[in-house]
């Protein structure tokens, strides 16, 4: 999230689009605190959940119509002049003029300029600004020129009227207008609002555009970078932010550096040229990339060998290697071996039946986990004859969090150190021990290799501390932070760092091999005291005090302990806060400069400036808060694979045709063809699968159930695997509360207990009744023996293998199903 959970208390209106009370109960205390201060809470969710119970207004919307909703809000804000004009003019690209060849989706009935139907992709050459003689974007600060981004935005969302929102989302017009008036009322200097989201926006074939739409709305209302504002992205796991930062992902390297492509980036120079923008803080990408390579390969990485660039794997294609790609390749026999560390794809991944069938075709499977999961015993899938499964399966018992030291990075980018309570039993290893041991054994195996490509791996260091297979986690954190590889002095000869000392700030990383950094955004988390002791800032625990309500002394937030990103935007062009009530940082012209001889002036306030602290508001770029973007301003126009503006498309499986354009689904969505009918999809408005289904999580269980269904105290909290069904649908189907029912999709079926409830209501979509059911996905065939309800069918057997075109995330929040009475 761009902001900080503690800061939510300062919102005037909080729009929760996720299920925050159930899935982020501890963070939710800050929503409660906001309510104490008079904030209004709106919950936008197809289901009435425990979040709705705490909200002032619950507004159900049909799963898969988020862009129609956000577009509707943007249209409303622009129509009613409820947007923060000064902020929009100066801090965003609203005033930039676009290439006249570019046409938006209103002009082109659902598409943008440059669509190639045969390739299913866009030629984006017209998606650009007009430039002046110096190569800067041309602007119209009055926002009136029809070619401004702003006017394009207006036209793009002109179709998204309240009447249209009613037809598409199923939100009655009056209710939508009530909520729109309330939320768009947070525009302007005196008020701010924040919007939360989680998988409700991400798990769609237009997942990334969903999030873009939210961000654009917040820019329009002038909420980004201000107290009580921002984009509250709620990560779904205690350390998933850490996993993302350190890039346990296929498409990036640690610190959000692009993973090189074999053909486009044959060498380091080409990679850096192509991937380093001309403006914004990412101009420093070479420093981060070289420092990362040095962290990987230490002394073996030198200027002469491109710092070992040739040793890191390159992607053969941008359209490959994601989770879904991997399982399709596995099913097709391309992937022969698989290591699943703390992951249970037999239950947790989309199209779980395909995932299990794929794993049953592997030559070998290694599962590292705390219990014998469904994946660990994939050959025992109910209905499968174990004799048919030739996979050799290895199970490595792992240590859970209580038995491991290390850091956890939570949803507000806060790195907190975590100490183990006990040692793992017997010869159970922590993940770090496992990987270091594995690496050391592999290095031994490859010790005699003369191949160039093995040099890097052989040179890499996997020893942290005195014992090679027992890494000291603070040393790992220090490597992530980064150190000097040799003595570094400034231009006057003063020694800044001695060899081996941790670097204090990513601003001091270099591209000449003198620094390392395993993840540049973490630089500063470990520093050295004047007497040579390593200080682990992630372990600091100074609570909030006085004006430091953001608690800068508790843990370390990346980057550089900034708690609220883009906080320059909390002040106006002169450096004064937009309002006294919403002050965060401001320019103090009398504060001493960086060095004694510098002109005075500094950004000061309640947070570390997410900005050059000494750049005056009236200096060049002193008025540009969005430092990570090349043009330094917030992006209404921001090219993604599926369009520079979010456009509503129906989910791949939908009960209705698209009412906003003739383009039914995302024109560049990824839809995999899988043999043996393992990825059948229902046609639009299918009578065999007439109901919308959404899948979700509960407070009491965790993900695929490995950390909850084996523990009696948690497993007993829900009687059994259930589906939430409206009274109306239950009546139609003759189903009673507590009966067993069968939920069917084109991929599979599950047997669950029907929970008939007032909290689910049918939608009216374009005048027709559309039923929606909800099914949590925590259950699998393993659990507690004495609690039959801890075991159940796998909800993800129902979902399909389709993906967002930017990151290939699955569409598990909105697809279709049928419901049959009884166990069918």
Q: Would you call 587 helix, strand, or coil by DSSP?
A: strand
571 vs 773, which CB is nearer to other proteins?
A: 773
Q: How far is the CB of 562 from other proteins (least distance, A)?
A: 26
Whether residue 390 contacts residue 417, with contact meaning beta carbons closer than 8 Å, is answered with: no
| Secondary structure of residue 418 in the 3-state scheme | strand
- Which member of 9, 48, 197, 571 binds other proteins (CB under 8 A)? 48
Q: Which stretch binds other proteins (CB under 8 A): 47-55, 369-377, 403-411, 443-451?
A: 47-55
Q: Which of 735, 747, 756, 755 is nearest to 820 (CA)?
A: 735
Nearer to other proteins, 1 or 760 (CB): 760
Residue 738 Cβ, how far from other proteins at the closest point, in Å?
5
Footprint of other proteins on 330-359 (CB under 8 A) = none
**Phi, psi for residue 530 in degrees, rounded to 5:** -55, -30
Shortest spacing between CB 721 and other proteins, in angstroms: 12
Judged by CB under 8 A, does residue 822 bind other proteins? no
- In the set 10, 14, 17, 50, which binds other proteins (CB under 8 A)? 50
Which segment (52-60, 91-99, 228-236, 262-270) binds other proteins by CB under 8 A? Answer: 52-60
Q: Decide if residue 738 touches other proteins (CB under 8 A).
A: yes
| Cβ-count burial 729-765 (b if 16+ within 10 Å, e if not) | bbeebebeeebebbbbbbbbbbbbbbbbbebbbbbeb
DSSP bridge pairs for 395: 367
> By 3-state DSSP, what share of the chain in percent is helix, strand and coil, each rounded to 5?
30, 20, 55
CB of 821 to other proteins, least distance (A): 17
Residue nearer to other proteins on the CB measure, 530 or 734: 734
244 binds other proteins (CB under 8 A): no
Q: Whole-angstrom Cα distance, residue 751 to residue 821?
A: 10
In the complex, minimum distance from the CB of residue 404 to other proteins, in angstroms, rounded to a whole number:
21
Short-list 234, 235, 256, CA closest to 247: 256
State the minimum distance, in angstroms, from the CB of residue 28 to other proteins. Answer: 6
- Minimum distance between the CB of residue 13 and other proteins, rounded to whole angstroms? 15
**Binder of other proteins out of 80, 759, 820, 821 (CB under 8 A):** 759
Report the 3 state secondary structure along 661-703. CCCCECCCCEECCCCCCCCCCCCCCCCCCCEEEEEECCCCCCC
CA distance 798 to 800: 7
Minimum CB distance to other proteins smaller for 28 or for 611: 28
State the nearest-atom distance from the C-beta of 50 to other proteins, in Å: 5
Segment contacting other proteins by CB under 8 A, of 5-13, 24-32, 373-381, 627-635: 24-32
The residue from 57, 312, 428, 733 that contacts other proteins (CB under 8 A) is 57
Determine, following the binding rule CB under 8 A, whether residue 149 of this chain makes contact with other proteins. no
User: C-beta of 697: minimal distance to other proteins in Å?
Assistant: 13
Specify the residue, 36 or 134, whose C-beta has the smaller distance to other proteins.
Answer: 36
Number of chain positions touching other proteins (CB under 8 A)? 39
CB of 786 to other proteins, least distance (A): 6
Residue 658, helix vs strand vs coil: coil
**Which DSSP letter does residue 613 get?**
T
Least separation, in Å, of the C-beta of 32 and other proteins? Answer: 5
Q: Shortest gap between Cβ of 187 and other proteins (angstroms)?
A: 23
The tokens for 756 are 């008939």
Please state the closest distance from residue 758 (CB atom) to other proteins, in A: 5
Q: Which one, 353 or 718, has the nearer CB to other proteins?
A: 718
- 693 to 732: interface string for other proteins, x by CB under 8 A: -----xxx-----------xxx-xxxxx------------
Using alpha carbons, select from 640, 777, 659 the residue that is nearest to residue 65: 659
Q: Which of 450, 529, 677, 758 binds other proteins (CB under 8 A)?
A: 758
- Chosen residue from 756, 772, 773, 794 binding other proteins by CB under 8 A: 756
In b/e form, how buried is each residue of 667-694, taking b as 16+ CB within 10 angstroms? bbbbbbebeeebbebbebebeebbbbbb
Q: Contacting other proteins (CB under 8 A), which of 109, 380, 505, 737?
A: 737
Q: Closest separation between CB of residue 787 and other proteins, Å?
A: 6
In the complex, what is the shortest distance from the CB of residue 53 to other proteins, in angstroms, rounded to a whole number? 4
Tokens linked to 728:
């109306």
Q: Choose the stretch contacting other proteins; rule: CB under 8 A; options: 631-639, 659-667, 752-760, 793-801.
A: 752-760
In sequence order, the 6+-apart residues with CB closer than 8 A to the CB of 823 are 740, 742, 751
Within 465-484, the residues that bind other proteins by CB under 8 A are none
By beta-carbon proximity to other proteins, the closer residue of 38 and 448 is: 38
Q: Which of 289, 362, 538, 755 binds other proteins (CB under 8 A)?
A: 755
CA distances from 465 to 429, 519, 529 (A): 17, 20, 20
The SS3 call for residue 245 is helix
Contact between 177 and other proteins by CB under 8 A: the answer reads: no
Compare residues 750 and 802 and give the one whose CB is closer to other proteins. Answer: 750
Q: Does 54 contact other proteins by CB under 8 A?
A: yes
Nearer to other proteins by Cβ, of 57 and 372: the residue is: 57
Burial class (CB in 10 A: 0-12, 13-18, 19+), 541: exposed
Among residues 699, 695, 706, 700, which one has the least CA distance to residue 782? 706
* Residue 52 interacting with other proteins (CB under 8 A): yes
Q: Which is nearer to other proteins, 329 or 716 (CB)?
A: 716
The footprint of other proteins on residues 774-793 (CB under 8 A) is 784, 786-787, 789
Give whichever of 600 and 712 is closer to other proteins, judged by the CB atom: 712
Question: Cβ contacts of residue 465 below 8 Å, gap of 6+?
Answer: 471, 472, 475
Neighbouring residues of 105: CB distance < 8 A, sequence distance ≥ 6: 111, 112, 156, 643, 645, 647, 661, 663
Query: Which is nearer to other proteins, 220 or 698 (by Cβ)?
Result: 698
Question: CA nearest 199: which of 361, 377, 330, 23?
Answer: 23
CA distance 184 to 636: 17
* Binding residue for other proteins, selected from 310, 686, 757, 764, defined by CB under 8 A: 757
Which string of DSSP letters, residue by residue, matches 491-513?
Answer: TTS-EEE-TTPBPS-GGG--SSS
Stretch that binds other proteins, among 8-16, 18-26, 73-81, 228-236 (CB under 8 A): 18-26
| Minimum CB distance to other proteins, residue 82 (Å) | 22
Nearest residue (CB) to other proteins, 57 versus 272: 57
The answer to whether the Cα torsion of 779, 781, 785, 789 is positive or negative is positive
Binders of other proteins in range 669-698 (CB under 8 A): 698
- Of 51 and 536, nearer to other proteins (C-beta) is 51
What distances in angstroms separate CA 97 from CA 134, 136, 141, 532, 640, one per listed residue? 15, 11, 10, 54, 19
Q: Does 172 bind other proteins (CB under 8 A)?
A: no
The DSSP string of 372-408 is --TTTTGGG-TT--GGG---EEEEEEB--GGG--EEE
- 246: contact with other proteins by CB under 8 A: no
Q: CA–CA separation, 685 vs 481, rounded Å?
A: 53
Which residues lie across from 394 on neighbouring strands? 366
Residues that bind other proteins (CB under 8 A): 21-22, 25-26, 28-29, 32, 48, 50-54, 56-58, 698-700, 712-714, 716-720, 737-738, 753, 755-759, 784, 786-787, 789
């Amino acid at each position: 999230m761009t902001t900080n959970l503690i800061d939510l208390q300062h919102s005037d209106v909080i729009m929760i689009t996720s299920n925050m009370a159930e899935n982020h109960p501890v963070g939710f205390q800050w929503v409660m605190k906001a309510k104490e201060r008079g904030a209004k809470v709106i919950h936008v969710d197809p289901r009435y959940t425990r979040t709705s119970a705490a909200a002032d207004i619950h507004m159900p919307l049909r799963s898969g119509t988020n862009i129609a909703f956000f577009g509707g809000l943007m249209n409303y804000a622009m129509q009613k002049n409820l947007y923060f004009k000064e902020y929009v003019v100066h801090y965003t690209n609203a005033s930039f003029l676009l290439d006249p060849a570019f046409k938006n989706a209103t002009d082109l009935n659902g598409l943008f300029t440059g669509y190639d139907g045969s390739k299913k992709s866009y030629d984006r050459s017209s998606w650009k600004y007009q430039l002046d003689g110096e190569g800067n974007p041309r602007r119209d600060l009055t926002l009136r020129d029809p070619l401004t981004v702003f006017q394009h935005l207006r036209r793009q969302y002109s179709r998204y009227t309240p009447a249209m929102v009613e037809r598409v989302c199923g939100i009655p017009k009056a209710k939508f207008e009530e909520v729109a008036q309330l939320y768009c009322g947070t525009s302007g200097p005196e008020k701010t609002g924040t919007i939360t989201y989680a998988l409700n926006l991400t798990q769609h074939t237009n997942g990334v555009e969903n999030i873009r739409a939210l961000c654009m709305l917040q820019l329009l209302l002038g909420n980004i970078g201000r107290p009580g504002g921002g984009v509250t992205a709620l990560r779904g796991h205690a350390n998933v932010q850490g996993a993302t930062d350190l890039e346990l992902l296929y498409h990036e390297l640690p610190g959000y550096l692009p993973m090189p492509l074999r053909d486009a980036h044959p060498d380091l120079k080409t990679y850096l040229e192509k991937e380093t923008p001309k403006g914004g803080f990412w101009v420093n990408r070479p420093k981060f990339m070289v420092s990362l390579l040095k962290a990987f390969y230490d002394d073996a990485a030198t200027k002469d060998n491109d710092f070992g660039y040739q040793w890191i794997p390159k992607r053969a294609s941008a359209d490959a290697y994601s989770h879904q790609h991997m399982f399709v390749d596995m099913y097709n026999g391309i992937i022969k071996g698989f290591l699943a560390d703390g992951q249970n794809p037999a239950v947790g991944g989309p199209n779980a039946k395909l995932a299990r069938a794929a794993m049953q075709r592997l030559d070998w499977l290694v599962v590292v986990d705390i219990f014998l999961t469904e994946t660990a015993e994939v050959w025992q899938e109910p209905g499968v004859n174990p004799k048919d499964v030739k996979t050799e399966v290895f199970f490595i018992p792992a240590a859970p969090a209580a038995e491991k030291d290390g850091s956890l990075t939570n949803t507000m980018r806060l790195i907190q150190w975590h100490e183990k309570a006990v040692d793992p039993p017997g010869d159970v290893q922590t993940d770090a021990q496992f990987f270091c041991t594995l690496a050391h054994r592999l290095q031994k195996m490859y010790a005699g290799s003369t191949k160039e490509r093995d040099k890097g791996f052989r040179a890499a260091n996997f020893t942290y501390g005195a014992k090679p297979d027992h890494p000291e986690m603070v040393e790992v954190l220090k490597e992530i932070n980064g150190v000097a590889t040799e003595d570094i002095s400034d231009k006057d000869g003063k020694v800044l760092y001695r060899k081996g000392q941790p670097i204090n700030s990513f601003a001091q990383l270099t591209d000449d091999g003198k620094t390392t950094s395993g993840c540049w955004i973490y630089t500063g988390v470990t520093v050295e005291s004047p007497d040579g002791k390593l200080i682990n800032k992630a372990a600091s625990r100074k609570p909030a005090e006085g004006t430091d309500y953001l608690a800068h002394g508790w843990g370390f937030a990346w980057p550089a302990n900034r708690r609220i990103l883009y906080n320059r935007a909390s002040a106006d062009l002169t450096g004064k806060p937009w309002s006294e009530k919403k002050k965060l940082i401001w320019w103090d012209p009398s504060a001493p400069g960086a060095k004694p001889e510098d002109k005075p002036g500094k950004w000061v306030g309640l947070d570390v400036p997410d900005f050059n602290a000494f750049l005056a508001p009236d200096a060049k770029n002193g008025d540009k808060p969005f430092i990570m973007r090349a043009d330094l301003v917030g992006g209404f126009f921001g090219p993604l694979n599926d369009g520079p503006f979010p456009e509503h498309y129906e989910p791949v499986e939908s009960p209705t045709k698209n009412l906003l354009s003739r383009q039914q689904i995302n024109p560049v969505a990824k839809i995999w063809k899988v043999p043996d009918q393992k990825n059948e999809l229902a046609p639009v408005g299918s009578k065999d699968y007439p109901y919308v289904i959404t899948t979700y999580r509960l407070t009491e269980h965790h993900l695929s159930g490995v950390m909850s269904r084996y523990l009696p105290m948690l497993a007993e909290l829900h009687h059994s695997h259930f589906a939430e069904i409206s009274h109306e649908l239950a009546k139609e189907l003759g189903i009673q509360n507590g009966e067993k029912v069968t939920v069917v999709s084109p991929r599979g079926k599950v047997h669950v207990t029907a929970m008939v409830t007032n909290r689910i209501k049918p939608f009216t979509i374009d005048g027709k009744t559309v039923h929606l059911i909800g099914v949590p996905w925590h259950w699998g065939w393993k659990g507690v023996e004495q609690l039959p309800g801890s075991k159940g069918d796998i909800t993800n057997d129902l979902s399909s293998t389709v993906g967002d075109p930017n990151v290939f995330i699955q569409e598990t929040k909105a697809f279709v199903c049928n419901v049959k009475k009884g166990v069918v």
